[in-house]
Amino acid sequence: MRIFKQLLACAMAIVMLMCLASCATTKDVDTDISVYQNENNDSTAESALSKTQSTTPETDNAQTGLKVRFLDVGQADAALLESDGHYVLIDGGNAADSQLIYTVLKKEGVTSLDAIIATHPDEDHIGGLSGALNAASAKKAYCSTLNSDTKAFRNFTQAVQSSNISIIVPQTTTTTRESLEFGSAHLEFLGPLKDYGDENENSLVVKVSYKQVSFLFAGDVGKNSETDLAQLPDIEATVLKVPHHGSKYSSSYQFLRAVNPEYSVISVGSDNTYGHPTSETLGRLKDQGSKLFRTDLQGDITMTTDGEKITVATEKGQAADVYKPNDQNDETDPLAAASESSPSETTSGTANSTANEIAASQTSSDADSLNASADEASTAEPSAAQPSSPPVSDYDSSIVYITNSGKKYHLDGCRYLSKSKIPITRADAKAKGYTPCSTCNPG
């Protein structure tokens, strides 16, 4: 009680001092004070936002898109997402990164997070989240579990409790899936699809979409979780936060084909003791064909999207897409073998030292809708990696299906497609050395 009285007296003294200060000194003081008054700052921001919205109600013009900043937290994960002034933090690096996370949020002017997401309780994912909760309040906190014994998890739990919220373990079954809107972006928890008895495999898998662009945050999942996730009809994403820092036990061919990312980001520390990212995973990413970005080589990686195209800015200019085919391991895969003969993407210069900012057009099957205009296409990096191919006929560009292990291509419905079914154009299938199945006779 005595302490309470002392605090009250202190608070009153501070209020009086502030009154005096605002009367007697320059505007700078006011500005400084407002930075520390989180609540007031927040309400000011919100009223400013509602003003904007009232003049331009519910139009596209009011939307600023989606910005995803993969923070360089060394051998760990952290990403700050923003849409229309609303923020979500997915993982927060190691405990040693608390200060870094705190500074990032303060610099960005984040006073309130719509959600803070701990994909799983390993220290390299939740260690720095207490720093985030010191810098900003959070409306919601998610984690893959409520039961973990680690010091990092206890610190996280305490920080969440002192924010007067409780940790939510989101529903992630195929029938009931928790989701969240922040700004104009949509966030969904896709996984884990069951209990794998392993904290990495049980990582929360989060998909964030804005119009036609989506980001998949795969935590530290491994092959078991990936196999189930690959079956989800909406697992495809424009950008993949590569699972488990590029571990060789993650990023299976099956998973990468299902996600089919245009860009991949590996959050990893240089010279880490795990040997991440492994040459096996780099090889599989290379075969999959996405543009690779790495926090160990490029520092913070910021991707901004208007819902159609993505602009990438890297803190350091070093190229990340430097995988050499000679590093290839002995894992056999038909696509891996086929890609050996294709031109190396290291020459494309997408992430070269001078091009810190690139705007790349989509080349996925949604290419028509994603390449909004010729103007936008012209700002895109020329895709030097694509060999100039002769025009293809409708027959060649029609879809056939291949399997994970087979060497044949099939028509839809062929009985050999019961285990896996990967769509591919007839021309691509032929180019990669697949031959027509003699049962369904695709021609």
Residues that bind Zn ion (CB under 5 A): 122, 124, 200, 220
Query: Under DSSP, is residue 31 helix (H, G, I), strand (E, B) or coil?
Result: helix
Rg from Cα positions in the chain: 24
Residue with Cβ nearer Zn ion (228 or 381): 228
Residue with Cβ nearer Zn ion (200 or 339): 200
Cα 336 to Cα 289, 356, 371, 409, 433, distances in angstroms: 11, 30, 29, 16, 11
Report in angstroms how near the CB of residue 57 gets to Zn ion at its nearest.
Answer: 43
Report in angstroms how near the CB of residue 423 gets to Zn ion at its nearest.
Answer: 32
Q: Rounded CA gap, 205 and 227, in Å?
A: 13
Residue 244 DSSP label:
G
Report in angstroms how near the CB of residue 124 gets to Zn ion at its nearest.
Answer: 4
Report in angstroms how near the CB of residue 91 gets to Zn ion at its nearest.
Answer: 8
What DSSP string runs through 344-385?
PGGGS-TT-SS--EEEE---STTHHHH---HHHHHHBPP-TT
Contact 304, 65 (CB under 8 A): yes
Residue with Cβ nearer Zn ion (220 or 236): 220
Chain centroid to CA 236: 13
Residue with Cβ nearer Zn ion (86 or 248): 248
Report in angstroms how near the CB of residue 220 gets to Zn ion at its nearest.
Answer: 3
Report in angstroms how near the CB of residue 244 gets to Zn ion at its nearest.
Answer: 6
Based on the number of CB atoms within 10 Å of its own CB, is 229 exposed (0-12), middle (13-18) or buried (19 or more)? buried
Q: Rounded CA gap, 73 and 95, in Å?
A: 10
Residue with Cβ nearer Zn ion (119 or 298): 119
Residue 424 gets the label, from left (phi > 0), alpha (psi -120 to 50) or beta, of beta
Torsion of CA 174, 403, 254, 212, to 10 degrees: -70
Residue with Cβ nearer Zn ion (112 or 272): 272
Q: Letter for the amino acid at 335?
A: L
Torsion of CA 30, 82, 293, 376, to 10 degrees: -110
Report in angstroms how near the CB of residue 236 gets to Zn ion at its nearest.
Answer: 24
Residue with Cβ nearer Zn ion (275 or 343): 275
Residue with Cβ nearer Zn ion (153 or 434): 153
Report in angstroms how near the CB of residue 268 gets to Zn ion at its nearest.
Answer: 9
